[in-house]
Structure 1
Amino acid sequence: MPRGDKGKYTNKQKRKAEHIEQSYEAKGVPKGEAEARAWATVNKQSGGGERSGGSGQQKSPADKARSRSSSARQAVASKHGELRPEQRLEDMTKAELLGLARKREIAGRSSMRKQALIEALR
């Protein structure tokens, strides 16, 4: 399929792109630029044209559940200011280090520089 071919897009995506293009043209944007912006918007919103078949990397329901569970655990740990096993203090931002120091109630943390925070957290 040649580059730029819109054959894999659904009718709804084509209508949406046409509507967006007309909107840009009404604002005075040249036709070519309006068309490019319209298709870029459709691609960003829907991930591009309908593709036949799968991506070849589909996960099993069990793998999906494990991923969700792992992601949820990381989110909770992050929210509570805990370190993930693979995260090093040196790789954290000063704001993240301050949050961690606050959770551990380290005195004088607000006046510390990043290196001092790292040493205090260790």
Structure 2
Amino acid sequence: MPQGDKDKYTDKQKRKAAHIEKSYERKGVPSDKAEARAWATVNKQSGGGNRTGGSGQNKSDRSKAASRSDSAKQAAATRKAGSRSASLQDQTKAELMAKARSKNIRGRSTMRKQQLVDALRRAN
């Protein structure tokens, strides 16, 4: 299927995209951008073309939603893992305060950021 071909979309999806496109044009968005935004909205809501033979032909709506959810959870875990590996110096004072609280460092509430960093390094 060539890029931009809408054969795999249902009539309902095509009507929805046309309605959204008209709405954007009434708001002053140029026609080409309005069309792109409309189809992006339809794709976001329904996961793309739904006619049989498309890439998602054997997936139910529930399965598609679960896949998106799993993907979002994996992305969040990756971001969280990245923040763990960041040095103490790169973290915010609030993050350092939370770590100091979990390690039960005394006097943490009156410490400045560098003092928290030093105390956490000593605690490890």
TM-score range, shorter chain: 0.5 to 0.7
Structure 1: which 5+ runs fail to align?
59-66, 76-83
- 1:5, 1:32 → 2: CA distance? 15
- 2:31, 2:6 → 1: CA distance? 17
Q: Is the 8 A contact 2:96 2:117 kept in 1?
A: no
Corresponding position of 2:113: 112
Q: 1:52 aligned to 57, 68, 79, which one?
A: 57
Q: Is the 8 A contact 2:24 2:34 kept in 1?
A: yes
Taking a change above 3 Å as real, the CA distance of residues 90 and 15 of structure 1, as seen in their structure-2 partners, is same
Q: Is the 8 A contact 1:25 1:34 kept in 2?
A: yes
SS in 1 for 2:25: helix
Deviation at 1:40, TM superposition (A): 1.6
What is the root-mean-square deviation of aligned Cα atoms in Å?
3.2
Corresponding position of 1:64: none
Q: Is the 8 A contact 2:10 2:49 kept in 1?
A: yes
Summarize the alignment of residues 79-98 of structure 1 with structure 2, pairs less than 5 Å apart: 87-88=84-85, 90=87, 93-94=91-92, 95-98=94-97
Deviation at 1:7, TM superposition (A): 1.8
Deviation at 1:21, TM superposition (A): 0.4
- 1:121, 1:45 → 2: CA distance? 49
Report the number of matched residues.
95
Q: Is the 8 A contact 1:9 1:49 kept in 2?
A: yes
Deviation at 1:38, TM superposition (A): 0.8
TM-score by length of 1: 0.58
Fraction of identical pairs, as percent = 52
Structure whose residues are more often helix by fraction: 2
Corresponding position of 1:19: 19
Deviation at 1:49, TM superposition (A): 2.1
Q: Is the 8 A contact 1:90 1:118 kept in 2?
A: no
Corresponding position of 1:81: none
Corresponding position of 1:8: 8
